Amino acid sequence: MQPENAFALNNLASTMWQDGNKEPEMFDRVMELYRKSLLYDSSNIDTLCNVAMILGIPFRSENESNEALKYANLVTQRAPRSLRAVLLVASLHHSRLEGTKRDYSNRVREVKELYSSAVNRDDLAIKDSKQLAKLYHQYGLFLGKHENDVANSLRSHRLAVETSPENLNYIFELGLALQRVGQYEDAASQFRHVVTLRKDDINARLHLAGVLGDSGDIVGASFEYSVVVKQDPHNARAHAGLGNALAAEGRNEEAVKYLERSVELDASLIPLLRDSMTALYLNLISKKNQGEKSFEQRLRWWSDRVGS
C-alpha cells in the first residue's frame, strides 16, 4: 500500500472517531484503522498524534495512558518543533493528574514545566492557530486548578480567546477566570456573549446571573434566573438564585415561593438557605394581619425541613 492510501486510512479513522459514538466497539475499529495505516507509513505524524490522543484522553486507564505517552513521545522525537505533539504530551500528563495522589506534587511540577516550556518557545511550527489557543486554554485550566495561580490563569485564558475569538468554550472559561478574581462586569460581558450565541446554555446563563448579582445588578440577575427557570423548570439552582434576587429587591412573598421550590427540587440547598429563609418568613409574618396564619404555617414547614 502506498503512503497516500495510508493517509486515506488515517482520514477514515479520524472521521469515524469524530462522527461516531465513543463506545469500545468504535474505539477498537478506529484503532485497527490507525494501526493499519502506521504499518504502511510509520512516519505519519498526524496518525501518531491521533493514536496517542484517543488512547490517552477519553479512556485514561493506566495501560492506555502509558501507551498514549509512548506514541506522543515518539512524535516529539520525530517532530520536536510540532506544536500539536508538544501540546499532546502536556495534555496527556495533565490528564494523569486527575484522581491521583501518588507523587502528586512532582507530577504537577512536571506538567507545569511542559506547559510553560511550550508557551515560551518561539521555535514551534504553528500550522493552526487553534492549536496555540488550545495550549493557552489548557495551561489556564491547569494553573487555576492545580496551582491556584489565578493571575496567570486569567492571562492564559485571555490569550486563548485572543487567539481563537470564535470559540465559545474559551470565552466561557475566561468568564470564570474573571469571576474568580472579582472582575464581575468583565465576566458578565463574556457570559453574555456566550448566551447571545448559545441561547440554551443554561450553565453560562446561571453564571451570568450570578456575576450580575455580585456586581449589584439585582434586576438583571432576576431576569437571567427567570429565563433559566422557564428553560429548565426543575433547575433548583435557578429557583434559589431567583428567590434570593427577588428578596434583595424586597419582593419577599415572591421570593419565598421560589426558595421553597428550590429545596423541594434539591434538599442539599437547605443548609445554604436556612438563615435567609427563616428571616424572610419572620419578616412576612410581622407584616401580616394578626389573623394571617399562612406564613406561620410555612415557617413551621421550613423548621421541620431544617430539623429533619
Query: Domain locations in the chain?
Result: 1-96
Closest CA to 20 of 31, 5, 6, 8: 31
pLDDT tens-digit readout, 1-21:
454 587 788 888 888 888 766
User: What CATH number does domain 1-96 carry, 1.25.40.10, 3.40.50.2000, 3.20.20.80, 3.90.1150.10?
Assistant: 1.25.40.10
Contact 158, 175 (CB under 8 A): no
Residue 236 confidence (pLDDT) above 50? yes
pTM: 0.83
Query: What is the C-alpha to C-alpha distance for residues 281 and 214, in angstroms, rounded to an integer?
Result: 24
pLDDT tens-digit readout, 239-264:
999 999 999 999 998 999 999 999 99
Convert 63-93 to b/e letters by CB count within 10 Å (16 or more is b): ebbeebbebbebbbeebeebbbbbbbbbbbb
Residue 61 confidence (pLDDT) above 80? no
